[in-house]
């Protein structure tokens, strides 16, 4: 059985390759996906595969920046790029006892302007 | 020496209590804070304490929703609330060999409307 780190690495590898069969093999039958920012939810492997296969088109490339993994939990930080665009995503994963992904929760933070009044406390990069 | 999970739990407990001495004891002298969405950076314990003490005012209350911890890394998901407002934050931590926090990177994802054309693939919560 793969550890949580390796499961997550394979998840992003398969997503980046649009290899939906390999991707689906990592998922529990009853996987639940949630996107708290939009309050969208997808239930079950088939529905989640459709959600990804239909939604994850275009020329997006995935780079995994970080994976922090505990026993049956992990979090990834990825960078999606296509010509002229870039987006970070943070994804929380929970694995079931068989090492399959049972829960996925992700976040898509957007750039914003620094709040007023703290320029004296920070530098910019 | 505390593990990464306990260090992060204490970090949020101290921040929530505005207990800046306890908070500072968890930090490495050369701690680096980054906020990729605004491209702000803060270097060093004193500057980072000032950044938090000046910025973290008001009636915000912190609830730790999740901590995923590996050996010298951890990620937290917290929920900040004040009357009429709520905000999620995801924070990546890296600890030094002494178990002090050497790097903090956080993200503040905002709610947004679901992208068009995928309502048939999701439910809402």
Let me know if residue A117 belongs to a domain.
Answer: no
Q: Do A42 and B77 touch (CB under 8 A)?
A: no
Choosing among B43, B68, B69, B87, which should be mutated to test the A contact, i.e. which has the most A CBs within 10 A?
B68
Say how many domains are in chain A: 1
pLDDT at res. B2: 85
What DSSP letter does each residue of B52-75 carry, written as one string?
A: HHHHS-TT-EEEEEEEEE-SSEEE
> Is residue B125 included in any domain, yes or no?
no
Residue B42 in contact with residue B51, Cβ under 8 Å?
Answer: yes
Q: Kindly state whether residue A68 falls inside one of the protein's structural domains.
A: yes
d(CA A52, CA B125): 19
Q: Is residue B123 part of a domain?
A: no
CATH number at residue A97: 3.10.450.50
**Residue B120 forms contact with A (CB below 8 Å):** no
Give, in degrees to the nearest 5, the angle at Cα B48 between A67 and A113.
Answer: 75
Chain A residues inside the 8 Å CB shell of B108: 109, 112
Q: Which residue range forms the structural domain that includes residue A69?
A: 4-111
8 Å CB contact of A88 and B125: no
Q: Do A66 and B92 touch (CB under 8 A)?
A: yes
Distance from CA of B18 to the nearest CA of A (A): 18
Picking from B36, B90, B115, the nearest residue to A107 by CB comes out as B90
Q: Which residue of A has its CA nearest to B73?
A: A68
CB pair distance less than 8 Å for B118 and A42: no
Query: What distance in Å separates the CA atoms of residue B35 and residue B107, rounded to the nearest whole number?
Result: 7
Instruction: Tell me what the mean pLDDT of segment A102-109 comes to.
Output: 98
Q: Is residue A37 included in any domain, yes or no?
A: yes
Residue B120 resides in a domain: no
**Alpha-carbon distance A83 to A60, whole Å?**
8
Residue B57 has pLDDT above 90, yes or no: no
pLDDT, tens only, B66-105: 999 999 999 999 999 988 889 999 999 999 999 999 999 9
Quote the pTM value: 0.95
Q: How far apart are CA B24 and CA A27, in angstroms?
A: 41
Contacts of B84 (CB under 8 A, 6+ apart): none
At residue B16, the 3 state secondary structure works out as helix
CA distance A48 to chain B (A): 8
Contact call for B40 and A73, based on CB within 8 A: no
Residue B55: pLDDT band with limits 50, 70, 90: confident
Task: For chain B, say whether A65 makes contact (Cβ under 8 Å).
Answer: no
Please indicate, yes or no, if residue A99 is contained in any of the structural domains: yes
Written in H, E and C, the secondary structure of A8-62 is: HHHHHHHHHCCCHHHHHHCEEEEEEEEECCCCEEEECHHHHHHHHHHHCCCCCEE
Q: If phi over 0 gives left and psi between -120 and 50 gives alpha, with beta otherwise, what is residue A39?
A: left
The answer to whether residue A12 sits within a structural domain is: yes
Q: In whole angstroms, what is the distance from residue B104 CA to residue B27 CA? A: 10
Q: What is the signed CA dihedral for B11, B31, A68, A60, rounded to 10 degrees?
A: 120
Note the pLDDT of residue B82: 87
Is the ipTM, as predicted for this complex, more than 0.85? Answer: yes
Asked if A113's CB is within 8 angstroms of B54's CB, the reply is no
């Amino acid at each position: 059985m793969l550890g949580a780190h390796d499961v997550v690495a394979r998840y992003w590898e398969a997503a980046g390759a649009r290899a939906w069969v390999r991707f689906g093999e990592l998922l529990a039958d009853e996987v639940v996906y949630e996107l708290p920012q939009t309050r969208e939810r997808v239930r079950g492997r088939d529905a989640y595969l459709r959600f990804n296969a239909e939604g994850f088109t275009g020329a997006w490339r995935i780079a995994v920046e970080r994976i922090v993994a505990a026993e049956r939990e992990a979090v990834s930080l990825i960078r999606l790029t296509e010509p002229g665009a870039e987006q970070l995503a943070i994804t929380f994963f929970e694995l079931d006892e068989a090492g399959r992904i049972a829960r996925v929760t992700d976040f898509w933070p957007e750039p914003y302007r620094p709040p007023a009044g703290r320029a004296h406390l920070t530098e910019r990069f």
